[in-house]
């Protein structure tokens, strides 16, 4: 697993700049006086920094973007990276962009970030996020990215914020590692074992096996996994950093999705290792809360199954009974995630009586058609909770967009022979999936459904990640909890 989130704090020392052998990171703005670190490097490089920052190329950069001077004379450094940044009150989004710029350029060597008085938490967090590499399946893995050395005016004052940034980066790295892992490595059993190991962080962990799930009545969840040799499980991660009813976070954990008997096309099926993305975000979030000792009461629940075609697999036309008691007609076995979530949502409410519920799932291809790969779909029965989440997502630079819920869509999932069917076909596909889930949310419970199918695994760089698993959702949910669910 990726674990390198090393940062080293130093007091501001101009003399140390000349001795750094990796990459130097400076900050400047076009048309403004050079900050003192940039001035010192400019003198050592005989005016190279001043020429660069006065250039049309530098003027064309947006705040947070940068240019690189390779192998500068007069220094031991391999490169000098100059980030465009206004000196006074830089905007958070510009600090995030600067972090992404720094992290994208990070190789095996250490980087010395000459921040002086610039705020560092957001910049460091996003540098760590963008520097991420997934090497676990390489026969000859490359060394992990080099550490970030942070030169600032008051390291002691910044230490707690930097530690918090590191904890959040580790949580997102964990989420990405889980999503990137192949399905023969990360199975329902190995994932459950990894979750059990998180007890060392102070989380209370329970893992329910198939016999326990059968006794409890989670038959919709079990039906999804009955064609697989990997046993279905429900893992519960409990963090009680405050009193009162918890926030419940529910993640879809389909470790691999063939579509079952309603088999998916072969092209692109290898990406279905990401169908446990909701569970990965939930687990990453719970690690973040435990590491930073959040003053919040949160319970995470992840339903772990594998959807395979087999003689035992459920068939189109089958009817299964949910934990709630509703009878579900299975029209398409590839609409399996909502069966898992239906039972786990009801179990979470019945057992924990939460103050609110949020579920995450790589649920529909329809949400990708609607929103592409930059924004997750947000469905909610509570306007205030939805607004709070959208504000939190925007604050950390994770794209989200509210989608409609309306009873008029229920006719599309009305079953002739049962209470409800698990898909209404292509029209409004992500909305009917959310309408299906809403049936398993008690009316008085504030609820958000996040369809993250488009943002979980991307073919190109996303907001703060290289192509591949993004870890979308850990930062946004943590920001929501800090703002609305944490005791002051």
pLDDT tens per residue across span 298-311 = 999 999 999 999 99
| pLDDT score of 337 more than 80 | yes
Q: Per the structure block, which two tokens stand in for 54?
A: 């006065």
Is 338 annotated as catalytic? yes
DSSP-derived 3-state class of residue 350: helix
Q: Give the mean pLDDT of the chain.
A: 96
Fold match, 7-155 / 176-485: no
Give the pLDDT confidence score for residue 372 in this predicted structure: 97
| Band of pLDDT at residue 3, cut at 50, 70 and 90 | low
Q: Distance (Å, rounded) from C-alpha 111 to C-alpha 114?
A: 9
Please, what sign has the CA dihedral across residues 358, 364, 366, 369? positive
| pLDDT score of 42 more than 60 | yes
Q: Distance (Å, rounded) from C-alpha 377 to C-alpha 476?
A: 13
Give the pLDDT confidence score for residue 190 in this predicted structure: 98
Instruction: Taking residues 71-81, report their average pLDDT.
Output: 94
The catalytic position among 23, 176, 338, 375 is 338
For the chain, the 3-state helix, strand and coil shares in percent, each to the nearest 5, are 40, 20, 40
Instruction: Taking residues 25-44, report their average pLDDT.
Output: 95
- CATH 3.20.20.70 is held by the domain 7-155: no
Instruction: Taking residues 33-48, report their average pLDDT.
Output: 95
| Band of pLDDT at residue 46, cut at 50, 70 and 90 | very high
The torsion angles phi and psi of 25, rounded to 5 degrees, stand at -115, 120
Give the pLDDT confidence score for residue 141 in this predicted structure: 86
Q: Per the structure block, which two tokens stand in for 263?
A: 């088999």
pLDDT in tens, 108-145: 999 999 998 899 999 999 999 999 999 999 998 887 89
| pLDDT score of 340 more than 60 | yes
Percent over 90 (pLDDT), the chain = 94
Residue with tokens 């994770």: 398
DSSP H or E run through 306: strand 297-307
Under DSSP, the state recorded for 485 is I
| Band of pLDDT at residue 389, cut at 50, 70 and 90 | very high
| Band of pLDDT at residue 488, cut at 50, 70 and 90 | low
Q: Where are the alpha helices (DSSP H) in 292-382?
A: 337-352, 366-371
Q: Are 416 and 392 in contact (CB under 8 A)?
A: no
Instruction: Taking residues 374-383, report their average pLDDT.
Output: 98
| Band of pLDDT at residue 4, cut at 50, 70 and 90 | low
Residue with tokens 């206004």: 86
Q: Are 36 and 14 in contact (CB under 8 A)?
A: yes
Give the pLDDT confidence score for residue 2 in this predicted structure: 52
Instruction: Taking residues 83-111, report their average pLDDT.
Output: 94
When mean pLDDT is compared across 150-154, 245-249, 353-357, 391-395, the lowest value belongs to 150-154
As beta bridge partners, residue 206 has 236
Give the pLDDT confidence score for residue 437 in this predicted structure: 98
Let me know if 298 is exposed, middle or buried by CB neighbors in 10 A (0-12, 13-18, 19+).
buried
pLDDT in tens, 428-463: 999 999 999 999 999 999 999 999 999 999 999 998
Is 416 annotated as catalytic? no
The catalytic position among 6, 264, 321, 402 is 264
| pLDDT score of 95 more than 90 | yes
Decide which of 3.40.630.10, 2.102.10.10, 3.30.1330.10, 3.30.43.10 is the CATH code for 176-485. Answer: 3.40.630.10
Domain residue limits, the chain: 7-155, 176-485
């Amino acid at each position: 697993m990726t674990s390198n989130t090393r940062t080293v704090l130093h007091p501001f020392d101009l003399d140390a700049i000349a001795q750094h052998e990796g990459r130097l990171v400076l900050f400047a703005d076009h048309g403004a006086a050079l900050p003192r670190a940039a001035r010192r490097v400019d003198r050592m490089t005989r005016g190279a920094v001043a020429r660069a920052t006065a250039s049309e190329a530098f003027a064309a950069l947006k705040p947070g973007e940068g240019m690189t001077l390779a192998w500068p004379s007069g220094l031991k450094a391999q490169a000098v990276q100059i980030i465009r940044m206004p000196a006074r009150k830089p905007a958070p989004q510009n600090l995030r962009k600067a972090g992404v710029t720094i992290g994208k350029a990070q190789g095996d060597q250490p980087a010395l970030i000459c921040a002086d008085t610039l705020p560092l938490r957001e910049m460091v967090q996003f540098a760590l996020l963008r520097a991420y590499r997934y090497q676990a399946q390489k026969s000859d893995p490359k060394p992990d990215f080099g550490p970030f050395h942070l030169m600032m005016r008051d390291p002691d004052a910044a230490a707690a914020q930097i530690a918090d940034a590191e904890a959040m980066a580790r949580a997102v790295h964990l989420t990405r590692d889980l999503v990137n892992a192949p399905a023969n490595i990360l199975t329902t059993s190995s994932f459950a074992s990894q979750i059990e190991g998180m007890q060392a962080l102070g989380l209370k962990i329970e893992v329910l096996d198939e016999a326990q799930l059968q006794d409890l009545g989670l038959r919709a969840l079990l039906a999804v996994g009955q064609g697989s040799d990997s046993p279905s499980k429900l893992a519960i991660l409990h963090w009680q950093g405050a009193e009162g009813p918890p926030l419940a976070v529910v993640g879809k954990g389909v470790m691999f999705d063939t579509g079952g008997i309603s088999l998916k096309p072969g092209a692109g099926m290898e990406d279905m290792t990401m169908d446990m993305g909701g569970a990965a975000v939930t687990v990453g979030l719970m690690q973040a809360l435990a590491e930073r000792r959040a003053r919040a009461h949160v319970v995470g629940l992840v339903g772990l199954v594998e959807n395979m075609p087999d003689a035992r697999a459920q068939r189109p036309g089958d009817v299964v009974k949910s934990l709630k008691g509703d009878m579900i007609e299975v029209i398409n076995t590839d609409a399996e995630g909502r069966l898992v979530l239906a039972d786990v949502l009801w179990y979470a409410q019945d057992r924990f009586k939460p103050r609110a519920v949020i579920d995450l799932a790589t649920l529909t291809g329809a949400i990708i058609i609607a929103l592409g790969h930059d924004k997750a779909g947000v469905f909610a029965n509570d306007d205030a909770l939805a607004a709070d989440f959208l504000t939190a997502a925007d604050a950390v630079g994770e794209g989200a967009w509210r989608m409609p819920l309306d009873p008029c869509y229920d006719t599309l999932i009305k079953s002739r022979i049962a209470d409800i069917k698990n898909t209404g076909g292509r029209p409004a596909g992500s909305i009917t999936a959310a309408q299906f889930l809403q049936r398993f949310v008690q009316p008085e419970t504030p609820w958000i459904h996040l369809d993250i199918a488009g943002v979980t695994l991307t073919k190109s760089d996303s907001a703060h990640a290289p192509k591949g698993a993004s870890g979308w959702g850990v930062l946004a949910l943590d920001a929501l909890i800090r703002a609305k669910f944490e005791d002051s």
